[in-house]
Structures are given as structure tokens and as C-alpha cells.
Structure 1
Amino acid sequence: MNLDFTPEEQAFRDEVRAFIAENYPKHLGDVGLREDLSREDFLAWHNILGEKGWSVPAWPVEYGGTGWTPTQRYIWSEENARVNAVMPLPFGVSMVGPVIYTFGNEEQKAKHLPGIRSGDVWWCQGYSEPGAGSDLASLKTTAVRDGDHYVINGQKTWTTLAQYADWGFFLCRTDTDAAKPQEGISFILVDMKTPGVEVKPIKLLDGGHEVNETWLTDVRVPVENLVGEENKGWTYAKFLLAHERSGIAGVARSKRGVEKLREIAANEMVDGEPLIEDFEFARKVSQLEIDLAALEITELRTLAGEQAGKGPGPESSILKIKGTEIQQRLTELTLEAVGSYAAPYYHSVANDDGSNEYPVGPDYSAHAAETYFNMRKTSIYGGSNEIQRNIITKMILGL
């Protein structure tokens, strides 16, 4: 594989970098934690990209995609990672959007795809339940046909940012007597303003409100909101998860994270020497960079396969496993580099008279602990890494 960029690709990078420099919302800056962002903050860059026609680069051209090559899409992700841009949320762009344009009917495409592209419609995901996480097929939420409607009852959990959502896509059991649990599930779109939908916050240990539990009580949803065929939702769910797992790898952002880690380690002193010159610490950073380079090549191969018409397969599980492991190791090394300044919630101290506060430690230490703890979830969501290893064993090794 030739990893050198052509003159045309270099020109594309220059174009992208200039566009970001001129148009990325200045008030977003270099954001810290997601819970610090408002709905408007999350959508600001998405709205701008929607107007430009760059919000859904991976979509087919006929549905609003850019027609970029895999290399151009890779460059695009690198340039956004370089400024730590708040990218369009995946629930619409990377998850339900591809399901709708692949399996939905023409009416569903016309109704939902424009709002996803523009960022005008916020989506959330209704998959996991209190007793159905990694074992998703055991979900209990039911959708019972009643004339021209489904009546949905059940509970979903970990519905990320559902407090802002206009629409949600839900897996519901439409056949309780199916021979296999996977065979009785349907994929249904739900207007979150429908009576009977209740979103309740799940407060995290740091006080943040990123995830929710969603209750559905006698929620009447038009049958026209069923995507594809009834009881075929498991097929669509697996398709969606393959796209999600490919995106979870986060190679470009991890590369930027390693750069920041090296900057931190160059400023942190141990026994009078920069931490980055400590042999053991430098060894761990170098090993991380080697693993990240291997993951980068795997991601490029996957993108090339998609460009050739091959949807993400078991390689998406490889990307998910290694990508999340690298993200976690990166936050662990950052925590190690920052040292005692990473003490949770110890960011600032009030003056004796209580008039104002002054920071404790360097700026880069402010969110090190929260980021470390928040990133523990990455090896679980999108299908736990243990499940991904089972998928790889079955699909690649045939066991």
C-alpha cells in the first residue's frame, strides 16, 4: 500500500485546512468534555458542513455524499482531529442514515435523510436495555401491531444525549414466539415527542448528564415508521453496528492525542529531566505509536474496501477492539504524565477571601482524570470487546 499523498491529495488537504480555519466556530475552541457543550454547540459545525455539502462524506453521492476517495475521507478526519473539532454526532450520520438509505423505502429517505445531512434533526439510539446490553437479542421492549400503528412498551438505557433528540431508532420485539430471539426483532423510527416517551437522566459520578434511560409506555407509532421488513431488524442492527464500530476506532484523534501526550511529557519534569526522556515511559509511548500505526493501515484498508463496494465486515470488530484499547492506553499514559495534578475535581482553588479561583496545575491537567474515567466505557459500547473477539473468531476463523 502506497501511503504517500499525491499532489492532488495534498491540494485537497490544503483546501480542507483552509476551510476549517475560516469556518470552524471560534467559540468552540479546543473543547474539553462533552457535557460542557450545549445542543447548539454540538450542532454548530454540523450545520456549517451541511450547507457546504460535507456533513456526510461516507454516504453515496445520490444521497448527499461527497464522492471523496478513501484517502480524501482520511485526510478530512485528520484535519478535523488536528483542531479537535466537534464533529457531527454519529447517531444520524453514521448509524441510522446508512440504514435508511440502504433498507428504507423512498418515503423514509425523502423524509429523514435531508434533516440528518443538515443537522436540523437530532437522533438517538434505542438498543440497550437493563437486561440486554452485550446480549442485545434478549431485549424485552415490545411493539404490538394495532391497525396502522405499533404500540411500543419497554425501557431502553444508555440512550446517549437523548435529552436533545428529535427522533430515535429503536429495536423492538414484534414476534415473541420466534424460534430464535434474533428473528423476532424490528427496527422502528420513533418521534421522541410522541406521548408516552419519557427520557430520564442518568447522572454520572462526575455530575455530567450524557446518558439517559428512556421509557416507552403505550407509545403509538405509525406502521410507516418500520424500516425494511417486520422481524428483520436484527439484520439492520448488525449492519448499523458494523458502521458504528468502524467509526469508534478514532485513529486520527488518537494520533492527535499522542502528539499532546508527548507535549505534556516534555514539560513534566522527573528528577530534573523531562518525563519523555525516561526510558520506561518513552517505551510505552513508542509501543502505543507502533500499535496506532498498524491500526491506521487497517483503517485505510477498510476504507478502500468500502470504496470498492464492500461493506464493513469483521475488520470493523478489529478496528473497534484495537481502537478503544489504544484510546484507553492513551488516557492512562496522560494520567501518568500529569501525576498528582490529575486528582479528580482538583482543578482550581478559591482565594482566602473567596473572591475568585486560581487554577491548580497546568491547563492540560484540568480534564485528565475525567477523560480517563469516561474512556473506560469505550471497550463496552458498540458491542463489548469480548463480543467482538467472538465475532472475529466466528467470521474469520470459522470456529
Structure 2
Amino acid sequence: MTAPHQPHEPHEPEAFRTALRAWLDENDLSPGDDHSLQGQMAQFARVQRALYDAGWSRYGWPEHAGGLGGPPILRAIVGEEVVGRRLAEPGPYSMLEVLAPTMIDYAPTDLAAEMVPRLLSGEEQWCQGFSEPGSGSDLASLTTRAVRDGDRWIINGQKVWTSFAQYSHRCILLTRTGDADTPNHEAITAFFVDTDTPGITVRPLQTMHGVDEFCEVYFDDVAVESTRMLGRPGDGWQLAMDLLPFERSTCFWQRIAYLYSRFDALIGEVKADGQAVDADLGAAYLALHTLRCRSRATQHRLAEGHRLGADTSIDKVLLAGAEQQLYDAARNLMPGTIELEDTDWRTEYLYSRAATIYGGTAEVQRNIIARRLLDLGKE
């Protein structure tokens, strides 16, 4: 790996992007032939290690957590360039962008300083233990329980839809700690749990698009030290509310770059078949461009120090719509490909059907927009 082309003003976004592109042009981080999920995870770790050693993946993160400072938009630029070049897939990247800020904000300072560099450098992968079989969109009803036992907490329960749990070294886990009289939102506490702790069982789930990205995770008398609590007892709900906007801000930048790369690939296939660029592609491009403009505004609000909240539900609705519109266009323009051929287009089309479900359903997001942004009430 060559030394980075450090920009004269490392925190200025355009200079940063120009220098990063030059470095990526000189350093071959292309993925190998293993396109399995395990291969994708290994490739992501490889890319992160190279970016970390050269300094790129440390920009946009605070120095007390192993970063090099600068606005969060710098790390959005890194993700956009890396995923846009198809050097890494957006899924693993999203865990980094969601969980590292949470650790920095809620973990004890020494724990964050020790652990965050392991995630940024690709040394470790983490997962997010939120959803349960009976608590998906209604997160406040979760039942996984943590009971104090001296200086430890004993955890029992089950999580589901836990992305990449089978490859993860740690889990940011939500549990119930209050008594029967404690309101749901005040009874939730978060822990940072090592996934090799005795009593944890991980079972991958294969989805209809043929990838075992999601997992069930069981906790049977799992002992966690009190020093691994994130925040204080009862802070779990606020942690979750602070985490969710990160799912819809910086990490979206990578997914948008990925969708643009697939849009370009679709144009190439359509032209190769001798078809004209039609209204389906125009509508897909408009949806992508609208999403990117909205997400760009969100990146700048984050860079300016604004605290993100319910407004990011708009970003989530736009992402789900743009993703499904792109793959609907692919299905319409390449008749039979998705239905009859075992290609990436088929896998990605099937995955796109979940875009209005994962990360908060479209119905829930629209309710949030109506009630909290438009003040339309509950009816």
C-alpha cells in the first residue's frame, strides 16, 4: 500500500475526496472471487484494515476514540467512494456507521477508546441485538431480561434479524431491567456483550434471496459485567432513539452509492440489448437523485452538529422507494432475468422487497412523519 495523498486541508471535504480517490486509484483493493457472505465480510475487513492503516477510515471520528477528527461527512465520503467502486458491500459498512457512534456516545470513555479502533480497523465486526420475535417495530415491548447479580447482570432471552451475528465479536444488546411497574420506555438498558460469552447461541436464518445475513441469537444465563453497561439503567430506549438516525444518515450514503452503481449497470445491460433508455429508467434516476439530495442535506446537518431525530424517517421512506423502483425497472427492462436466471439481479430484486420492512417499516416511518413532523395527531 502506498502512503496516503494527504490533502493540504484534511478536513475540507472536496480536498479530502480528491486525495482519497488518488489513493484508491493507486492501491488495488478489488475483491477476489469469493462472493459468498463470508467472502464479503473478509473483503470488508481487508478494505477497512487498509483504510485504517493509511488513515482514511479514522477521519470523521473523534480523537479520544482513535480517530483523526474532522466532520462526520468525511467518513460518509470514504463509504461512498469505497462502496461506489464495489470494493465492499454496504451491509457490513452499515454496522460500523451505526454502532461506533453509539459506543462513543454511551460507553465509558476508556471502553470506547479500546474498542472503537478495533471496529474501524476491520479487526472486529459487531452486531445490533434489538429486534425480537414479538418486538420488531414495537421495540419498547422487548422481553429479553437482565437481572443484577452483584457486579454482573444475568441475561436471558432471544433476538432475531440480527445482521451478521455469526461473524460478530461483540453485540450492542437491549434488555429489560425495570420491574413490573416501570414504564416500558424506562425499563430498557443496553449492554456491550462479547459474543463468545458462555450461554450465547447464534443460528443463521436464510432469507428468500438465499443469503444467511440475519440470525437468531439466544441468551441463556449470559453473565455480563456491570462495566459493560452502556449509559445507566434505563438509558436503553434513548440509546436506541439516538442510534436509529445513524442508520438513516451516514450509512445511507454507502447504500445510495451502491444503488447508483447498480443503476449504471442496468443502463449498460439495457443498451447492450439494443433498447432505448425509457421512462422506467428516468423514474428510477429521479427517485435516486431525490434520495441523494435529501441524504446530502442530512449529512450536512450532522456535520454542523445538529442532533438527528424523526426527520430521518423521510430519508428511510425515500431510500425504500428508490431501491424498489430501481429493481422494478430492472425486472421490467430485462424480461425473465429475475424470474428465470440465477444472477445478481435476481438476488438483489428479492432483497429489495424487504426495503420497506427492515430498519423500520414504511408504515411506521410514515406515522412518525405524520405525528412528529406534521403534528397530525394519532388518528
Relative to the length of structure 2, the TM-score reads: 0.87
Larger Rg: 1
| 1:300-326 deviation per Cα after TM superposition (whole angstroms, max 9, x unaligned) | 221111111112222311111101210
1:173 aligns with 2:150: no
> 1:258 and 1:332 mapped to 2: Cα distance?
12
Q: CA–CA distance in 1 between the matches of 2:298 and 2:238?
A: 21
Unmatched 5+ residue regions in structure 2?
1-11
**Residue-by-residue CA offset, 1:250-293 (whole Å, 9 max, x unaligned):** 32222222222222221224xxxx142xxxxx122212222322
Contact 2:20 2:56 in 1 (8 A): no
Of stretches 60-69 and 304-313 in structure 1, the one that deviates more from structure 2 is: 60-69
Q: Which amino acid aligns with 1:257?
A: R
Q: Which residue of 2 aligns with 1:383?
A: 360
Q: Which amino acid aligns with 2:161?
A: W
Aligned to 2:6: none
Residues 1:175 and 1:224: Cα distance change in structure 2 (over 3 Å): same
- Counterpart for residue 396 of structure 1: 373
Q: Read off the aligned partner of 2:81 and give its amino acid letter.
A: E
> Which moved further from structure 2: 150-159 or 52-61?
52-61
Letter in 1 for 2:236: G
Amino acid paired to 1:20? L
Confirm or deny: 8 A CA contact 1:46 1:87 kept in the other structure.
no
Deviation at 1:218, TM superposition (A): 0.5
Matched, 1:263 2:268: yes
Report how far residue 385 of structure 1 moved: 1.7
Q: Which residue of 2 aligns with 1:361?
A: none
Answer yes or no: is 1:22 the counterpart of 2:64. no
Aligned to 1:152: 155
Q: What CA deviation, in whole Å up to 9, does each residue of 1:39-76 have, x standing for no partner? A: 42231111111112222544234434454557655544
* Conserved? CA contact 1:338–1:368, under 8 Å: no
1:223-238 aligned within 5 A: 223-238=226-241
The aligned amino acid for 2:202 is V
In structure 2, relative to structure 1, the CA distance for the partners of 1:392 and 1:61 (3 Å cut) is farther
**Residue identity opposite 1:190 in structure 2:** V
Cα distance in 1, alignment partners of residues 89 and 201 from structure 2: 27
Partner of 2:4: none
- For the residues of structure 1 that align with 2:135 and 2:60, how far apart are their CA atoms? 30
Normalising by structure 1, we get a TM-score of 0.83
CA distance in structure 2 between the partners assigned to 1:106 and 1:294 by the alignment: 39
Query: Does the alignment pair 1:291 with 2:287?
Result: yes
Query: Which of the residues 99, 105, 123 maps onto 2:102?
Result: 99
2-structure distance, mates of 1:226, 1:235: 14
Range moving further from structure 2, 100-109 or 136-145? 100-109
Q: 2: distance between equivalents of 1:159 and 1:395?
A: 28
In 2: Cα distance, 1:19 partner to 1:170 partner: 37
Whole-angstrom distance in 1 between the partners of 2:22 and 2:365: 39
In the other structure, the counterpart of 1:55 is 57
What SS does the corresponding residue of 2:331 show, helix, strand or coil?
A: helix
Which residue in 2 is equivalent to 1:350? none
* SS of the residue 2:336 aligns to: helix
Report SS of the residue matched to 2:297: helix
Hey, what's the Cα distance between the residues in 1 that align with 2:363 and 2:260? 25
- Which residue of the partner structure matches residue 329 of structure 1? 325
Structural RMSD (CA): 2.4
Report whether the alignment pairs 1:340 with 2:340. Answer: no
> Which residue of 1 is the match for residue 39 of structure 2?
37
Q: Tell me, which stretches of 5 or more residues in structure 1 are unaligned?
A: 1-7, 277-281, 348-365
Aligned-pair identity in percent equals: 31
1:78 deviates by 3.9
Instruction: Report the CA distance shift for 1:226/1:206 in structure 2 as closer, same or farther (over 3 A).
Output: same
- Return the alpha-carbon distance in structure 2 between the equivalents of residues 318 and 56 of structure 1: 29
Which stretch shows the higher mean deviation, 108-117 or 19-28? Answer: 19-28
Aligned residues: 362
CA distance 1:233–1:68, change in 2 (3 Å):
same
Greater relative contact order, per chain length (Cα 8 Å cut-off, separation 6+): 2
Q: 1:232 to 1:69 in 2, by over 3 A?
A: closer
Show the counterpart of 2:190. Answer: 187
C-alpha distance 137-20 of structure 1, shift in aligned 2 (>3 A)? same
Q: What letter corresponds to residue 263 of structure 1 in structure 2? A: G
The match for 2:202 among 186, 199, 207 is 199
Match of 2:300 among 281, 299, 304: 304
CA distance in 2, matches of 1:121, 1:36: 14
